[in-house]
Structure 1
Amino acid sequence: MTAIYKDAGYPVQDRVADLLARMTPEEKFAQMHAYWLILDENGNHRERSDLSDEFAGVSEQAALSERLKLGVGQISRPLGTHIVDAHTGVRAANRLQRMMIEETRLGIPALFHEECLVGLLCKDATLFPSSLNYGSTWDPELVKRAAQQIGHEARSVGCQQGLAPVLDVSRDVRWGRTEETFGEDPWLVGVMATAYVEGLQGEKRDLLATLKHFVGHSFSEGARNHAPVHLGFCELNDTFLLPFEMAVKLANAGSVMPAYHDIDNQPGHSDSFLLTTVLREQWGFDGIVVADYGGVSLLHQHHGISHDAAESAALAFNAGLDVELPKDDCARHLAEGVERGLISMEKIDEIVSRVLSEKFRLGLFECPYVPEENIDLQNAQTRQVAREVATRSLTLLENNGVLPISGKPRVAVVGPTADDPLALLSGYSFPVHLIISDMVEETSQVTTPLAALKNYLGDAQVRYAKGCHIIQRRMAGAPVFPGDSGGKPMQQSPVSFDTSLIPQAVRAAQESDIVVACVGDLAGLFQSGTVGEGSDTDSLNLPGVQQQLLEALVETGKPVVVVMTGGRPYNLQGLEDKVAALLLAWAPGQEGGWAIADVLTGRAEPQGRLVVSVPKSAGAMPYYYNHKLKSGGTPFAFHFGSRYPFGFGLGWTQFSCESVCLAETSVPVDGEVTLSVKVKNSGECSGSEVVQVYVRDKVASMVRPLQELKAFQRVTLSPNESATLTFRLPVDMFNFTRRDGKRVVEPGEYELQVGLSSADIRGAVTVNVTGETRVLPGEWRMMSGCEVRS
C-alpha cells in the first residue's frame, strides 16, 4: 500500500501529517537547514568549505555522505556557487536528488535555491540590469516580464526558490547595496516588488520568490553593512515594512529572508514580533522564512545575544525561522537545543510542517528531477527583455542639445567603464559575484558602450582611450563571505589613483568632435569593488581619479557627454554645469552597451526617471525626497538637498500639465479620490513622460513627510497631442501608523500634487476627507489606478 505522503491524490495537509509522523527527530532537524555543496555528476559531492585548507580530506566527505542520508531541507546555489556548465550542473543536481529519493529512508527531495535578483546567478544565464534600472523604468509590467524571463531560466535548471527581490528602501546612497533596491519611495518599491514577485512565481507559485532583507536593512548607521538600525515601529511600518506587506498580500510571496542587523537592539533573525506576529499572524504569510547566509550564527558570533550555536538556533527557530542557510552551522545543534529545553519538539514539528508543505505544493515529490533538454538560457526573447529594461531605464539628467548624436561625427569614447564588461554589471551578477572567490568568468555575452558605438558609427569614427583605472586589477582578498568558515585578511582599498593615462584621453578628445566619457564604479562584494554588498563608501565623489579625467576633458573645449554607470549616484563637483550631457545608466547588464548607444544616437528615447535623489554631497546623507520638514535642520543646512530630485529625467521633448481638478472636493474616510490632469506634448517630437501624484497630509496627529508618491502614469504623445489622465486613489493609501501599531486614516485636508518630479509640481488641489479616524482592516487598498483618454 502506498504511503499517504507519496500519493498526490491526498490534500497537502494530510500528506504532511503522514510524513511527519514517520520522521525521526534527526530527520526533522535535517529539513530545517541547507547544505552548501560543490555538486558532482558522479556523486562525489563535497561541502563548499572543503575548498579551504581547514576543511579538506576524505573524512569530511564521508561525514557528509552519512548526514545526507537523513535528508536535507535545501541545497544552496548548486549552479551559482562555482563555474559549471548548466548541463553538467543539472546532471550533478539530479544525481544528488536521486540519492535523496532512493538512498534515504523516507525519500524526501531537496529544494534547490539560487540567487536571481539580476538574472539567474549561474554560468551563461542572462545578465539583467540592476534593481535601480528596474525601478527607473517606472513600468511595473516591464519589471514583471523581466522577472518572468528570469523565472523561466531558473526553472529550466531546477531552481525552486529564488533569493529575490530586495525590498529595502533606499535612504543613504553611501550604502553599497543601494544598487539592489528599487529606490527610495516605499510605495513605489512595493509596486515594483509586487510585479517582480508575480512575474517570478507565476500563477502557480511553483518558484518561490524571497522577500529580503526583512526589514530596515538600508537605514543602518552610517550606511554601513550590517550596522545597527535606529527606528521606532511607526516609521518602520510606514517606510520599510510597507513594501513587504504589499508583496505578501498582493503577490502571495512564498518566502521571506530576515536581515543581519539589529533594530533597537533586537537582531532580525531572532525577532519573533516581526517574523511571527507581524508577518504570519497579522499579514497571513503562509510561506517559509529562510535565514540570510550565516545570519543565525551571527546571533552569538557578532550580536552576542546567545552563548553558542545551539542557543542561536533555538532563538531563531522559536522566533519564526524555518530554514537555516546556507548550511547547518547552528541547526546541527538542534538535538542539543531540545535536550537543554531551549526549543520544543512541538515547535520543530510546526516548522517542519511548513517546509514539507512547500515541497508538496511545489510538486517536488512527483517531479524531483530536471530534464536536461529543458535548460534554456540566453534565448532571444530573454535577451530582448533585458535590453528593453536597460534602454527604458536610462535617465538623462543634463543635455545642452548635443544629444542625440546625429550624422557621423568623430567621437572619442574614453573612460574606465567604456570597454569594461564588468562595469555594466551589479554585485549579484554571476561574473562579479565570483571575483571574491579567485574565480574568473568570461563575459563575452556583454556588449560594452565602446563596442556598440563602433558598430553604429563605424570604427573609423571612434577613438578610444581608457583615461584611468578604477581598480587596476580585480582581485579576491575581501573579508569573509557570510557562510564561509575561513576568510582572508581585510585588504586595503583597491582603488587606483594613477593619472598617467589622462594625457592620452585628452589627445583623443582633441582629435574628435564629441567626447563620450564613461565613468562610474565597479560592483564587487566586500570591498573587492567600489559598490555592492559590503562595499560602502564615505564619499559621493567618483572613485579614484575619474574627476580629474573629466576636468581635463572639459578643459579641451569639446562637448563632453558623461555616461555614468554603477550602483549609486555620484557628484561631478560642479562639472554638471559644464558638461554637454549627463546620462545615468546604473548597471544596465549585458545589453547595456546597446541601450546606451541607442539613446546616445537617438535610436531610443531616454525614458528613465530617478528613483533615488542625487544628493548635493555626502554631507546631505541620509537624504530622500519624502523627508520631514525638519530634516534639513534649523536653519536649513546649505549642504542638504538634491541637485536631481526623485522622479526627474529629461527626454527629447517637453510636456505641460494643466487643468488639475478633483471630481469631488470632499470624500469619506473610506472612499476614493478621483483626480484628473490634462497633459500635452508641447515639444517638436514624439515622446513620453511619467506623470506623478504626491500627497501631503496638511495636519496630522503625528509628523508626516512633506510629500509621498501615491500614483504615477507614463503617457506617450506626438507633438501637440494631448491626453487626459484620470487617477483614482483610495483614501486608504493616505494612512500612517499610530503609536499603537495600527494603520489609520484621519479626516482632514490633504494636498494632492501633480508633477513631473517630486520637485517639479505643475498643479495642486486640496481634498477634504470626512468622517471619523478609521483603523484600516488587514486587507486595505494599497494600489491606485489611472485611465488615459486622448
Structure 2
Amino acid sequence: MSLQHKSEIPLYRDPDAPTEARVADLMSRMTLDEKIAQLHAVWLKLSADGHHQPRSEDFAQRDAGVPIERLLRHGLGQVTRPLGTHTVDPKEGVRALNALQRQMVEDTRLGIPVIAHEECLVGLMTKDATLFPSPLNYAATWNAELIGRVGEIIGEQARSIGCHQGLAPVLDVSRDPRWGRTEETFGEDPYLVGVMACHYVDGLQGERRDLLATLKHFVAHSASEGARNHAPVHVGPRELNDTFMLPFEMAVKLANAGSIMPAYHDIDGVPCHANRDLLEGVLREKWGFDGLIVADYAGVNLLYSHHAVARDAAAAAALAFNAGLDVELPGHECALHLAEAIERGEISLATVDAAVERVLRTKFDIGLFEHPYADPEHVNLRSAEATDVAHEVALQSAVLLRNEGVLPLKLDSAAKIAVIGPTADDPLALLAGYSFPVHLINSGEQSDLAMTTPLQALRDLLGKDRVIHARGCHIIEERRAGAPVFPGDVPLAAMSEDKVDELISQDTSDIPAAVAAAKQAEVAVVFVGDLAGLFQSGTVGEGSDTDSLTLPGVQQALLAAVVESGTPTVVVMTGGRPYTLGGLEDKVAAQIMAFAPGEKGGEALAELITGKANFSGRLPLSVPKSAGAVPYTYNHRLKSAGTPVAYHFGSRYPFGFGLSYTQFQFDGLECSTREAAIADGTFEFSFNVNNVGACDGEEIVQIYVHDKIASSARPVRELKAFARIPVASNASARVRVRIPVDMLNFTDARGERIVEPGDFDLMIGSSSRDIHLSETLTVVGHATRTLERDWRMVSEVEIVAQ
C-alpha cells in the first residue's frame, strides 16, 4: 500500500497501524448508537439474497419488535450461529453469512465487520461437520495432546465457514451426575479439567488466536443446588477458587483463552452476569484476562425476568455491563436499552466505551477487518483425518469397569451373540446434547445420520449370522419437536402439578423377545443408557436433570430379565452420566462405560468388544453407588461421608478407574527430591510401570497428594499429575515425574493461593483408589508463601526408559 493511498483512508482501516491506534481512531468516529450496536448480537436465519428472517425463542431471544433493517443500520457486534441455527447447506450458509457481512462492511457508515459465533463443544454444530465424542470422552482418554488435536480440527472447520468464535469448552467441574450438563464437562477433578481445557483451547485458537475459544460457564455452574439447571450455588470462597476457578485460571493464563461466558446461576444471591467481583475483579484485574466476556444466551434478560435484581431491560443491561460484560448474546433484548440506562444514570458512557473498545480491539486482533469473508468453495467440514481422530477418541475413552473373562468376544468362533437394548441400533444414542443432530430435535427438523451403530459394527466384525438382535425396550419412542419445559416456563403456583407429558417409555412388551434372544446366544451384549436432548426432550443434557441414577424408563427391568436368563451378560452404557445397575453390578459378566462416543463410536465399541483394540479409558468422574450417595467426588474432605462412614455411600467405580485386557504392576519408586524449597522447589521422582499381561496396553499413571496438616481442611487426595504410558507385553517403562511446589497450594481467608511448609503424602496409582506406591514429600520453609500471579500450574510426566 503506497504512502499516498494510506493517507486517504481512515487510520482504523490501515492494517499496519497499531491496534490501539486503530481502536482510538474508530472510537472517535462512532455515535452512541453505533457503539451500542457493537455490544449485542442478532439471531437470524440468514439468506444469500440479503432477505434475512428473525429467529425468536421464548427463552433465548424474544421478539423485541425492532425491524431487522433498523437493527443492522448502525452495525453489529456478533451474529448468532449463522450456520448452526437450522439445517442449511454449508456452502449456501457461507454465502448467506457473506451477504450479512457485506451489508455490515459496505452498507453501514463505518463498515465494521461482524463476528460470527457457533457452538463447537463436540464438533462444529453445523450440518455435515464431524461429530466428535462428548467432553466426558475427551477426559476419559487422559490424553491431552489428542484433545488438542480435536480442538485444531474443529478450529479448521470453523474457520472454513467464517466462524470467529466458538462457544466452548465447558470448564464446569462435575460435582453431581444428576445435573444434566454433566455430559458437557471434563469430569470431577479441577486439574484434569484444566489440562484438557488448555490443550483444547490451544488447538482451537491456534497460534494466531484468530478464532476465539469461550470458556464457560463462569463459575461453579455444576455445583447448583440439587444438581438443577440454573439453581443457586452454595459454595464458600475457598472452595470456589480451589475447585471451580482453577481450570478457568489455567486456561486464561496458560492458553490465552479469547473469551469467557458467565453462568446463569447466582452465588450467595449475586447472579454471575451481574457479579463485578468475578468479571472485573478476578478475570481482568487479578488474572489479566484480555479477551471478551460474552453473555450466556438470555443471561442478561434473566437479571430482571428471573433473578429480579433489575426492574427492566435497561437496568439489567446496566447491571451486566457495569459488571464487565462486553456482548449480549444471542440477541439484543437488553443492550438496545443502554442509551436509556445512560440517561437514567445507571451506567456511564465511559463504561460503555470500555466495552466497545474491547470488542473493536478483538475484531482488529483477529484480522476481521482485513478478512471479513469466507470462501464457500473452500468449506472444509469433512476429512479423513477428522474421522480418524474422532475414532481414536472413541477408542481411547471407553472404560472397561468389569470383566469376568467373557471379553473379548472371539472373532473366530461360530457362537451366537445376542445384541440387545434400546441404544444398540440408535445413532442418536452415540451423540451428546450439543451435537447438531440432537439440537435439531427441538426445532422439528430431522438429520440424516450416516453413522454405523454398535449393532451394525458387530455384525460387520462377527458376521451377520452370528448376531441375534432384539431391542427389548425404548427409552423414548418418538423424538419430537418442542421442548416440554424451558427454564421458567412453570409458574410457582403450578409447580406441584404434573402437567408435563411423559416422554420416557414405560412399555415392557418387548422384553420377552429380548430374553428369548439371550437364551439362544452364548453371550448377551446389552446396550443401555441415555438419549441426549435439551430441556427434557431427552434424558440428559442442558435442562434434562434427574432425581435418580436408575436407568431411564424400563431399561433396568430389561437388564434384570436378560441377566436372569442365565446367559453371560455384557452391559455397554452410553450417555451423559453414569447410572447404577440396581444391584446387578455383581451379576453381569462385564460392564463398559462409553459415554457419548460420537460418529465413530459404533465401530470403536465393536473393535474393543472383540479385542481388535485394547481398553485404555479411565473414569473422569466417580460412579456413585446411588442417587442418595451424591454428591460424591473422590477429592472430598474426610468428613464428607459422615461418621461413621456408611457402607452405602461412596463410589463403586472411583475416579480414574478402568481395566484393560492386560495387567500392570508398579515398582521401583525412587525420589530424587523428597524435600523441596517452598520458594521455588520441584519434587522429582521416578518409578516403573510393568506390563505383566499377555497383550500390549496403555496404563494411565495417576499421581495424587494429600496435605497432612494444613491451616484449613483439605481433600483426602488431589490429582497433581497423570500420563498415558504405552507398554508392550512383558515389558517395562521407567516414568519420571516433576511436580512444582506451587501446585500444593490452596486458598486462604484473603482469597489468595498459598503454600505452607510441611509434609505431604505422595500416592502413585492406577486410580484414585488403587494406590500402588507411596512416599512422604516435605515442603521446606520458615513461613507460608503467597503465590505470585504467574505460578507454576502444570506438572511434567515423561518416559525416560523403555
TM-score by length of 1: 0.97
SS at match of 2:543: coil
Q: CA deviation at 1:660?
A: 2.1
Q: Deviations over 1:545-572 (max 9, x none)?
A: 1111111111121111111000000001
Paired residues for 1:142-153 under 5 Å = 142-153=146-157
Change (3 A) 1:478 1:471: same
The 2-side partners of 1:251 and 1:612 are apart by: 24
Match for residue 364 of structure 1?
Answer: 368
The answer to whether the aligner puts 1:423 opposite 2:422 as a matched pair is no
Read off the aligned partner of 1:247 and give its amino acid letter.
Answer: A
Task: Find the partner of 2:626 among 617, 621, 629.
Answer: 617
Residue 482 of structure 1 deviates from its aligned partner by: 7.5
Question: Is 1:770 aligned to 2:770, yes or no?
Answer: no
1:457 aligns with 2:468: no
Percent identity over paired residues: 61
Structure 1 gap segments, 5+ residues each: none
Match of 2:674?
A: 665
Q: 1:493-544: CA deviations, max 9, x gaps?
A: 3111100010111111112222111100100000000000000001101001
Matches within 5 A, 1:14-413: 14-49=21-56, 63-406=67-410, 407-408=412-413, 409-413=415-419
> 1:491 and 1:29 mapped to 2: Cα distance?
40
In 2: Cα distance, 1:549 partner to 1:304 partner: 46
Secondary structure, counterpart of 2:686 in structure 1: strand
SS class of match (2:504): coil
Provide the rounded CA distance (Å) in 1 between the counterparts of 2:149 and 2:334.
Answer: 38
Name the SS of the counterpart of 2:216 in structure 1. strand
Shift of 1:51: 11
Shift of 1:270: 0.5
Query: 2:481 aligns to what?
Result: 476
Partner Cα separation in structure 2 for residue 164 and residue 451 of structure 1: 32
Aligned counterpart, 1:569: 578
Corresponding residue number in structure 1 for 2:648: 639
CA distance in 2, matches of 1:477, 1:613: 33
Query: 2:558, 2:296 → 1: CA distance?
Result: 40
After superposition, the C-alpha distances for 1:711-767 in whole angstroms (9 at most, x for unaligned) are 012211122211221100000000000000110000000111001100000111001
What is the aligned length?
Answer: 784
Measured after TM superposition, the shift of residue 483 of structure 1 is 12
Instruction: Check the 8 A contact 1:677/1:724 in 2, yes or no.
Output: yes
Q: Is the 8 A contact 2:176 2:223 kept in 1?
A: yes
Deviates more, 1:139-148 or 1:458-467: 458-467
**Residue of 599, 605, 608 corresponding to 1:596:** 605
Deviation at 1:638, TM superposition (A): 2.9
Q: Does 1:698 align with 2:703?
A: no
Residue 12 of structure 1 aligns with which residue? 19
Greater mean deviation of Cα atoms: 779-788 or 677-686: 677-686
Cα-to-partner distance string for 1:61-102 (whole Å, 9 max, x where unaligned): 8x2112201111000000111111101111100011101111
Inter-partner Cα distance in structure 2 for 1:414 and 1:378 = 32
Other structure's SS at 1:248 match? helix
Contact persistence 1:477–1:491 (CA under 8 A): no
For 2:22 and 2:53, locate their aligned partners in 1 and report how far apart those are by CA, in whole Å: 32
- 1:713 alignment partner in structure 2: 723
Q: 1:674 aligns with which of 669, 684, 699?
A: 684
1:514 aligns with 2:523: yes
**Aligned 8 A contact 2:133 2:394 in 1:** yes
Could you say what the CA RMSD is over the residues aligned between the two structures, in angstroms?
1.8
Distance in 2 between residues matched to 1:218 and 1:556, nearest whole Å: 40
Equivalent AA in structure 2 for residue 419 of structure 1: D
Which residue in the other structure is 1:780 paired with?
791
User: 2:442 is paired with a residue of what secondary structure?
Assistant: helix
Aligned residues of 1:493 and 1:527 also touching (Cα < 8 A): no
Within the alignment, does 1:433 sit opposite 2:439 as a pair? yes
Which letter maps to 2:24? A
Structure 1 position 281, deviation (Å): 0.7
1:559 to 568, 577, 580: 568
Secondary structure of the 1:251 match is coil
What's 1:523 paired with?
Answer: 532
Amino acid at match of 2:775: V
Distance 1:633 1:179 in 2: 28
Quick one: distance in 2 between partners of 1:714 and 1:465? 38
Q: Deviations over 1:326-373 (max 9, x none)?
A: 000100101100100111111111100000011111111111111012
**Aligned 8 A contact 1:34 1:323 in 2:** yes
Residue 576 of structure 1 aligns to a residue whose secondary structure is coil
The 1-side partners of 2:442 and 2:201 are apart by: 29
Structure 2 SS opposite 1:499: coil
Offset at residue 227 of structure 1 (A): 0.3
Residue 170 of structure 1 contacts residue 218 of structure 1 at CA under 8 Å; is this kept in 2? yes
The residue type equivalent to 2:502 in the other structure is S
AA at the equivalent of 2:419:
V
Q: Deviations over 1:212-238 (max 9, x none)?
A: 000000000000000000011111000
**Cα distance change, pair 163–50 in 1 and its aligned pair in 2 (3 A):** closer
Query: Residues 617-646 of structure 1, C-alpha deviation per residue, up to 9 Å, x if partnerless?
Result: 000111100000000012213321000010
Q: Distance in 2 between matches of 1:593 and 1:35?
A: 38
User: What amino acid does structure 2 have at the position aligned with 1:400?
Assistant: E
Partner of 1:167: helix, strand, or coil? Answer: coil
Match of 1:649 in 2: 658
Give the Cα–Cα distance (whole angstroms) in 1 for the partners of residues 288 and 499 of structure 2: 43
Structure 1 outlier segments of 4+, above 3 Å: 479-484
Deviations 1:551-599 (A, max 9, x none): 1111121111111000000001121111111111000011100110010
Query: How many Å separate the matches in 2 of 1:123 and 1:636?
Result: 51
* TM-superposition CA deviations, 1:279-305 (whole Å, max 9, x none): 011111000000000000101111111
Structure 2 runs not aligned, ≥5 long: 1-7, 492-497
Kindly indicate whether the alpha-carbon contact (under 8 Å) linking 1:413 and 1:463 is maintained by their aligned counterparts in 2. Answer: yes
Residue equivalent to 2:761: 751
Cα distance change on mapping 1:36 and 1:236 into 2, 3 Å: same
Q: Distance in 1 between matches of 2:537 and 2:256?
A: 36
2: CA distance between counterparts of 1:68 and 1:719? 64
Is 1:680–1:721's contact at 8 Å kept on the other side of the alignment?
Answer: yes
Matched residues in 2 for 1:677 and 1:627: separation?
27
SS in 2 for 1:434: helix
Q: Does 1:731 align with 2:741?
A: yes
Residue identity opposite 2:697 in structure 1: G
Deviation at 1:491, TM superposition (A): 2.8
**SS in structure 1 at match of 2:192:** helix
Are the aligned partners of 1:661 and 1:765 in contact in 2 as well (CA < 8 Å)? no
| Cα distance in 2, alignment partners of residues 146 and 604 from structure 1 | 21
- State the distance in 1 between where 2:470 and 2:594 align: 20
